[in-house]
Amino acid sequence: MLDIKFLRTEPETVKENIRKKFQEEKLPLVDQVIELDTKYRETKTHCDELRNQRNVISKQIGALMGQGKKDEAMQVKEQVAEINAELDRLEVSETELEAEIKKIMMVIPNIIDESVPIGKDDSENVERERFGEPFVPEFEVPYHVDIMENLHGIDIDSARKTSGNGFYYLCGDIARLHSAILSYARDFMIDRGFTYYIPPYMIRSEVVTGVMSFAEMEGMMYKIEGEDLYLIGTSEHSMIGKFIDTIIPEAELPKALTSYSPCFRKEVGAHGIEERGVYRIHQFEKQEMIVVCKPEDSMDWFNKLWNNTVDFFRTLDIPVRTLECCSGDLADLKVKSVDVEAWSPRQKKYFEVGSCSNLGDAQARRLGIRVKGADGKKYLAHTLNNTVVAPPRMLIAFLENNLNADGSVRIPQALRMYMGGKDVIK
């Protein structure tokens, strides 16, 4: 969410940013907010004047009563009653105007970084860099579910009976591999100085609307019936929410955290749920990175975060590339975003396995996350998040890139201690 003062003084900058995101339908919202803001400030000023007037007049009542001027005192009381009635009316208007302004401001997109490429949708995202050589073996690489089934590691049919499409049972060495990857990811991030967390898996609506846009919320979140609770779609939600309405001493920054959680997503939209596969599903697990920092440090942290994911995948012998999200593909709260994509030998192309985002002060403004500087002044923090790893999607890349011709799967050195010393799954 933008600062109303910025929108008030730089309306054309806000409109140009909306055009860059190809959301022309939102252009009228800027003028609408300015008009409402003018009315709000006028109403607030009038309320303040009436309160001051009431205080001055109220002091006269006691003095008049003390002088025995009861009739005059009653007249003054009538004036106070009239002021109170006017105040009640104006305060309702003030509250309504404030709520309407906030509602619209929540929809106006954040100002994107000047380095973000301009494009309408994900088809215009820009490849930045490749790490590792993409390799296609001489033998045919089966579909990932077939690889898992050949290793007696997945049961989708039973999950469809118990839960429907978008769910799965993992078992045996594939289930162990899934857990091993998460354990390795946890230790990988701890070794890089991040504090490990296991957060709540449900959050209140005020946190949901603080960390994401309404459009994302509708397409992702599962609501707990009868309660003000939502299942998290990523641990970023509850980890950023941890700092709601807090003032962090500047000396304690940055907060570099890594968190594990299951994730739950509706996956409503064009992509939908796979009938047979684990790429797009309702339930998965993930290791996440979250940073809360000073504004001037956020871009440095942005680059550190996506590099962590690249380094993690390379230790598992998986080639990856970074893809910068264009303006039209950025969620409204994001300033800048880079996807990490892994190589698929079967498809002979890259696919997304993680996303790194700098949200500037948007989440901090919504949630009230402030920093107290050494000089005592307070300012909004910047927040960032990035995926370390999200199996079972990552399992697709892992299995395809470490598959042997006989159907067995190599276990890279980094994972063997988490797999009981095994160097291959047969």
**Which residues are known to be catalytic?**
265, 280, 352, 355, 393
Per-residue DSSP letters for 393-418?
HHHHHHHHHTB-TTS-EE--HHHHGG
Q: Two tokens at 4?
A: 């109303």
CA atoms within 13 A on the CB side of 301: 26
The helix (H) or strand (E) run that includes residue 81 is helix 70-105
φ/ψ of residue 336, rounded to 5: -160, 145
Give yes or no for a contact between 387 and 284, defined as CB atoms under 8 angstroms apart. no
d(CA 369, CA 72): 51
Is the N-terminal amide bond of 254 cis, ω within 30° of 0? yes
Give yes or no for a contact between 392 and 373, defined as CB atoms under 8 angstroms apart. no
Task: List, in order, residues 6 or more apart from 183 with CB less than 8 Å away.
Answer: 418
Q: Two tokens at 401?
A: 């890139």
d(CA 331, CA 311): 26
Q: Two tokens at 90?
A: 């104006």
Q: Two tokens at 104?
A: 């619209």
d(CA 50, CA 86): 8
- Burial code (b: 16+ CB inside 10 Å, e: under 16) for 82-118 equals ebeeebeebeebbeebeeebeebbbebbbbbbeebee
CA atoms within 13 A on the CB side of 282: 16
d(CA 416, CA 420): 6
- Does residue 95 sit in helix, strand or coil? helix
Intra-chain end-to-end CA distance of the chain, in Å: 51
